[in-house]
Structure 1
Amino acid sequence: MFDRLYSGTGAFDIVGKRKRWYLIFGGLLLICIASISIRWFNLGIDFEGGTKIQLPAAAASGQITTERVEQVFTSTLNKEPASVQSVGTGANATIQIKSEALTVEQVRQVKAALFEQLRPQPPGGTASVAQISDSAVSGSWGGEISRQALIALGVFLVLVTIFLALYFEKWMAISALIALLHDIIVTAGVYSLIGFEVSPATVIGLLTILGFSLYDTVVVFDKVKENTRGILGLTRRTYAEAANLALNQTLMRSINTALIALLPVIGLLAVGVGLLGVGTLQDLALVQLTGMLVAILSSIYLATPMLVDFKLTEPKFKQQADRVAQRRANQARRTEAAAAANADGELDLSDDDALGAELRREKAMAVASSIPGRIPKASDARRKPAGKPSGKKRR
């Protein structure tokens, strides 16, 4: 299997099985759209507004855990907070509580309970209620971030469409944009299905995957463009086969690029969340990891197969595919006839196969070109032919 990956000889029939990929990706897309329509998103406090309470993670009795803080909050107000996160490390570590909007009395109760049960105390300071701060968060800030992100997305799509249409062609541009929209919808749908909290960092991370989604698609399309140059005048392979060969030739590169791109994101998720406990890094890494995985699959199994189907809507590519099929059918019939004649001992060596004649001509030309021609030397021009009179009379 690995030999076939590295050789890139077209052993993996990805384009030929494109109907299977359409069903898989189409089903996933429908599930994600249905989830977004029904369940919507688990919007964070920055989008819906609420209250944020922050306290030092250190105490006289030791380090305060997020689980303990959540227990105190829930037992005090009889409802769970939206999120409890540990931010920072060492002496500067803090714990942030985000919840729906609380009244002044509820905030006072929570702060008093946290102080009495946990006694947060920063290094060098004294334990007091003043060490626990609170603030009201407006949902307008998250909405502004979303509006700016949508504007950036629109500008990005317009510029990318113009570039792809000029550098490649319209069908490549359309296929790449469909794959890109698929990546955005599926990534958002995964957040809706699993219930990941959507924060401004999530929106920013979603924008960062757009370039990666197009990168691998453009690489494959460039190879498709190279393999299909002048294909309408040839009958060796169809456009679909040439595109499938391009996918195989760039498949190992796509896998390597994906691994190199995913390793830093996984490291960001593991180190940022597991060691540093930073919630913003978690939101950013989660959306990047999800989006990159979806983009890798769509660039291989969706973009190029769609390009092939769009191309085959043009009559000239259909006619070229028919010519290839006709030539192969004729060659198969002649091969069967030759085999039957050989079995009967009546092998006919006459060959009217255009392909065979063409191959022999190419072989003859290759042999002729491999024999260097003799360039006459200047001395040969002055050399007198043997056996001819010099023009002088003998005495």
Structure 2
Amino acid sequence: MSRLGNLGARLYRGEVGYDFIGHRKFWYGLSILITITAIVGLVVRGLNMGIEFEGGAVFTTPKTTASVERTTDSAEKISGHTAIVQELGDGGMRVQIAGVDTKTSSAVKEKLADELHVNAEKIDAQLVGPSWGEQIANKAWQGLGIFLVLVVIYLAIAFQWRMALAALIALIHDLTITVGVYSLVGFEVTPGTVIGLLTILGYSLYDTVVVFDGLREGSKNVTKQTKFTYSEIANRSINATLVRSINTTIVALLPVAGLLFIGGGMLGGGMLNDIALSLFVGLAAGAYSSIFIATPLVADFKEREPQMKALAKRVHTKRARAEEHEGRDPEGPDDPEDTPPGRSGGGGTPVTVDDAEGGGSATAGAGTGQRRQQPSRGKSRGRPSGKRR
């Protein structure tokens, strides 16, 4: 078995583990800090909305010797609006100008052809009205709302409402961070971005549902035992699925990273960048939130219930008694009433206790632990040996 597999097995058995629940306040604080940074970036810088949402024109030119910088300057000078220029693989340019309507598009096209020294008839012009972008935005918000409602209903039925609430908070956390990163990086928001955002919702829930399923199985009849509190069972559930969450996240991030860094960087970006960035940030944020936010929130919600408070009290009381017994003098207490079960009243004199299998007795206390011979089962106490005179 590999080291990672061995670690996963030990985590699953509870032999090793990290106290995620015990350090939840630190992770809550870190998540709040990241979320505030994303919100501030969104408020200050805003989103770079594409022409699909604001309206404008897209001009695709044939092969030209002009550079991207020159094309950008020329397009902005001609139109009076901000232009986004992307070099295509065949040597042409894709010029995107927001705010250009049908009346001015023809003039912009002619002047752009003169600046780039290309034939105006070979420039492909596409106009996008702002109403079409508004419809896309409304459909995106509608789809997001329906998805969130269905997720909450499903989790409330399959698990319980506390888990549904925790998963919803984690989803909002993931979306806020992803949108904030878009704002800080300055990537253009296009329909591809919307597709990526809707896609990561399912991915971000995947690890959360896996951990919740383990928590549901581990917390069955939790109030009938006094070995673990609910928070400790939740922590064991996270550790049991930790390696699986890491493996699935890495496997999912590798092809997305290829799209973002190789496809976007070497092939010129475009919609590859729009989809890949939202997927990359969303997948990473989803794996983080399922471990450090969703499950600790469920533990916090459950620990407020009266039965879970009573369970925690019983567990801590039992552990305190066990520590008290373990911390006593090994030679035995002087007071016979303080003698633990199975020990003699004083002086460390060995006494016999029944063996677990009923096949003998073992000495307890300060004795050497040697077994004494079990009395013959054929003999009875207080009776003669059975011989007749």
TM-score normalised over the length of structure 2: 0.79
Distance of aligned partners of 1:24 and 1:303 in 2 relative to their CA distance in 1, 3 Å threshold: same
Q: How many angstroms does 1:5 deviate by?
A: 5.0
The runs of 5 or more residues in structure 2 that have no matched partner are 344-352, 361-389
Separation in 1, partners of 2:333, 2:355 = 30
Aligned AA (2:20): I
SS at 2:60 equivalent: strand
3-state SS of 2:327 partner = helix
1:94 shift after superposition: 4.0
> Structure 1 residue 38: deviation in Å?
4.0
Measure, in 1, the Cα distance between the counterparts of 2:144 and 2:56. Answer: 28
What is the identity percentage for the equivalent residue pairs of Structure 1 and Structure 2? 39
Tell me the equivalent position of 2:384: none
With over 3 angstroms needed to count, the CA separation of the structure-2 counterparts of 1:78 and 1:151, relative to structure 1, is closer
Indicate how the Cα distance of structure 1 residues 65 and 366 shifts in structure 2: closer, same or farther if over 3 A, else same: farther
1:89-128 equivalences in 2 (<5 Å)? 89-90=89-90, 94-102=92-100, 103=104, 104-115=106-117, 119=118, 128=119
Residues 271-312 of structure 1, C-alpha deviations (whole Å, 9 max, x = no match):
432343250111111111111111111011000000000001
Q: Distance in 1 between matches of 2:181 and 2:325?
A: 55
How many residues align structurally?
A: 339
Corresponding residue to 2:250 among 237, 259, 269: 259
- The residue identity in structure 2 corresponding to 1:53 is F
Q: Does 1:213 align with 2:216?
A: no
Letter in 2 for 1:7: R
Aligned-partner Cα distance in 2 for 1:6–1:283: 39
How many angstroms apart in 1 are the aligned matches of 2:22 and 2:324? 24
Instruction: In structure 1, give the amino acid aligned to 2:245.
Output: S
8 Å CA contact 2:333–2:339 kept in 1: the answer is: no
Q: What's the offset of the Cα at 1:96?
A: 0.8
Cα 1:352/1:154, change in 2 over 3 Å: farther
User: Are 1:175 and 1:306, in contact at CA under 8 Å, matched by a contact in 2?
Assistant: yes
Structure 2 contact 325–340 (Cα < 8 Å) conserved: no
The alignment status of 1:84 with 2:82, answered yes or no, reads no
Q: How does 1:227-306 map to 2 (within 5 A)?
A: 227-306=218-297
Separation (CA, whole Å) in 2 of partners of 1:108 and 1:129: 6
Using the TM superposition, give the Cα deviation of residue 192 of structure 1 relative to its aligned residue in structure 2, in angstroms. 1.9
CA displacement, residues 114-137 of structure 1 (integer Å, 9 cap, x when unaligned): 12xxx4xxxxxxxx2321233332
How far apart are residue 78 of structure 1 and its match?
9.1
Residue 10 of structure 2 corresponds to 7
Determine if contact 2:47/2:186 at 8 Å carries over to the other structure: yes
What stretches of structure 1 move > 6 A for 4+ residues in a row? Answer: none
Query: Residues 32 and 364 from structure 1, CA distance in 2 versus in 1: closer, same or farther, beyond 3 angstroms?
Result: farther
Q: Displacement of 1:71 after TM fit?
A: 4.6
Corresponding residue for residue 56 of structure 2: 50
Q: Which has the higher contact order (CA 8 A, sep 6+)?
A: 1
Question: Separation in 1 of the partners of 2:297 and 2:359?
Answer: 39
* Equivalent residue letter for 2:85: V
Tell me the TM-score normalised to structure 1 length: 0.78
Letter in 1 for 2:33: G
Report deviation, 1:82.
3.1
